[in-house]
Structure 1
Amino acid sequence: MYDFKPSSTMIKAKKILYVSSEIFPFLPQTDMSYVGRHLPQAIQESGGEIRSFMPKYGCINERRNQLHEVIRLSGMNIIIKDIDRPLIIKVASISTARMQVYFIDNEDYFQRKSTYRDANGEFFADNDERGIFFARGVLETVKKLRWKPTLVHCHGWLSHLLPLFLKKAYHDDPLFTNVRVVVSLYNDLTTESFNEKMRSKIIMPGIKAKDMDFLEEPDAVNLAKTAVQYAHGVILAHPGVDSSIAKYAGSLNIPVMPYIDPQDPKSNYIKEYNNFYDQILETQ
């Protein structure tokens, strides 16, 4: 249990969708995976509703972590570059937290044995498509769950297209009407570049090239700026966040929360994050 007691009025309508590139114990412990594991549990134990999603990388042992496919949620195709990509949804429970994690899977994108790079340390050439598939896969699965979040909290570069999709492509869907978006910025990518045709792959009804000006040069920094562009609040979740991204966030008329070390035993990050959620939700 967490020492965390928000007011009952704050919790009444709080339903948070967590979308993370990494969650512990399915991947090694980092600031991102630590927050992805413990923050949703704390919000749930305080009376909020949560759903958590991450990619099902091939390095995640399905037997050890007791993953199983959710047939009723799987089966649809997501079209990228005019190719149908089957969406497979798996789920696992973190028994000590009484919490479920949903996994986005696809044979082409997520069954290789490493997360972002090949055995030679090279950034995967299709990481742009993996990000597109992951973001759309999460939103389509939430639609199948018929669950309406009040706030979406994005962690890590693989979640960075969600704010764009929510603002431009899914804004008319009743499940996502007036949803607020918080983006936590880490230092997971810094100098990496994506395929030069990334923007054309993202375009779909509601999204035009002009909605992604930053991605005219599709690199890690500009992808993060695209996430910030469509966010309602930003958390600096790593002490080494690229200064140009932090500066851009500060130039917008949105709340920006400074870094708090979540793994410091004296850290009050859960309380501060919850207060930040309330600040964002009060602006509706």
Structure 2
Amino acid sequence: MKDKRVLCVSSEVVPYLPETEMAKLSFDSARMVHSKGGQTRIFMPRFGLINERRHQLHEVIRLSGMNMIINDMDMPLIIKVASIPKERMQVYFIDNDEYFKRKATFTDDKGNLFDDNDERMIFFAKGIVETVKKLNWAPDIIHVHGWMASLLPIYLKEYYKDDALFMNSKIVTSLYNNNFEGTLNQELINKVSFDNIEEAKLSSIKEPIHANLLKIAIENSDAIIVASEDISEDLIDYAKSLDKPVLDFCQIDEFQEAYLNFYETEVLK
């Protein structure tokens, strides 16, 4: 992995949010690439419950200031950055007061999903790509973790398909069992198609439940990693039916060798 560039995209990364399976694996997989001589950039949302002072986040003025068009609305993009202590790894935070200022991640204090989670996903996906373009940093691998980032693959494959910076990038999606009850806003498919993405390519998210968000990520990725032990067999079979390379689940203390081998023999081949 020496000198390879890996863009890690996740909604949860330690130490900025509590340690979950996804938060730890997102961090550990990026650190593994870094330790092998690769270059990494980590992107996550700047949720309002992240303590900016403790983690020393600061706004990057040269990267901020763009407006993302979300369903015909101009939404200002703010980019903040921090360095993970002792690792010399930079984390970029996608921020917007309307979408991420609230002191919660995906649900209110009653456990109900936020009605704008769909728009937050679109903003997150487009904000990442626009920021990487400003950095002029062409990733060899874009590794997507979790449902919050599951629209990124289709935006890369469709909305940004003519962008030369990502022409040779390979997309890997890790599947986690971080399920949620119910559905996102039913208008999700219309809001994505507003960006001139054909509805025929969005049929999986006509019903925006957790499994279907993972499906659209699978459809537009080059390879799949089963990151949780209890992922639905239907999802795994679905990925294999599309002739995608699939890395089966491995315990966290064994993942490094498996991930490195998968990157090198299946993703970058």
TM-score between the two structures when normalised by the length of structure 1: 0.91
- Answering whether residue 170 of structure 2 is matched by residue 180 of structure 1, we say yes
2:159 and 2:28 map into 1 onto residues whose CA distance is 31
Greater Cα shift, 20-29 or 197-206: 197-206
1:152-203, CA deviations, whole angstroms, 9 ceiling, x for partnerless residues?
A: 0000111101110111111211110021100000011244311111111112
1:69-88 superposed matches below 5 A: 69-88=59-78
Q: Match for 1:159 among 149, 160, 168?
A: 149
- Aligned match of 1:278: 264
1:60-71 superposed matches below 5 A: 60-71=50-61
1:214 counterpart letter in structure 2: S
Deviation (angstroms), 1:101: 0.5
Q: Match for 1:261 among 240, 244, 251?
A: 251
Q: Would you say the 8 A contact 1:169–1:204 is kept in 2? A: no
- Answering whether residue 197 of structure 2 is matched by residue 211 of structure 1, we say no
Q: Match for 1:11 among 2, 12, 15?
A: 2
1:199-238 superposed matches below 5 A: 199-204=189-194, 207-238=197-228
CA gap 1:205/1:112 in 2 versus in 1, 3 angstroms: closer
Q: Would you say the 8 A contact 1:190–1:221 is kept in 2? A: no
* 2:93 partner SS: strand
- Aligned match of 1:51: 41
Greater Cα shift, 271-280 or 176-185: 271-280
2:259 counterpart letter in structure 1: Y
1:37 and 1:85 map into 2 onto residues whose CA distance is 28
Deviation (angstroms), 1:282: 3.8
Percent identity between the two aligned chains: 46
2:268 and 2:123 map into 1 onto residues whose CA distance is 31
Q: Match for 1:145 among 121, 135, 138?
A: 135
1:103-124, CA deviations, whole angstroms, 9 ceiling, x for partnerless residues?
A: 0001011111011100111011
* 2:144 partner SS: strand
Unaligned runs of 5+ in 2: none
Deviation (angstroms), 1:133: 0.6
Deviation (angstroms), 1:278: 1.1
- Aligned match of 2:124: 134
1:239-254 superposed matches below 5 A: 239-254=229-244
* 1:75 partner SS: coil
Q: Match for 2:106 among 99, 116, 139?
A: 116
1:27-76, CA deviations, whole angstroms, 9 ceiling, x for partnerless residues?
A: 11111111122221221121111110000000000001110000000000
Unaligned runs of 5+ in 1: 1-9
Q: Would you say the 8 A contact 1:52–1:100 is kept in 2? A: yes
1:161 and 1:154 map into 2 onto residues whose CA distance is 10
1:158 and 1:205 map into 2 onto residues whose CA distance is 18
2:32 and 2:229 map into 1 onto residues whose CA distance is 23
* 1:119 partner SS: coil
Q: Would you say the 8 A contact 1:53–1:104 is kept in 2? A: yes
* 2:55 partner SS: coil
Alignment RMSD, CA only? 1.3
Q: Match for 1:100 among 70, 90, 102?
A: 90
Deviation (angstroms), 1:142: 0.3
1:65 and 1:275 map into 2 onto residues whose CA distance is 33
2:103 and 2:118 map into 1 onto residues whose CA distance is 18
TM-score between the two structures when normalised by the length of structure 2: 0.96
1:60 counterpart letter in structure 2: I
2:255 counterpart letter in structure 1: Y
* 2:48 partner SS: coil
1:281 and 1:117 map into 2 onto residues whose CA distance is 34
Deviation (angstroms), 1:206: 5.0
Deviation (angstroms), 1:204: 4.7
Q: Match for 1:36 among 26, 38, 49?
A: 26
1:165 and 1:70 map into 2 onto residues whose CA distance is 24
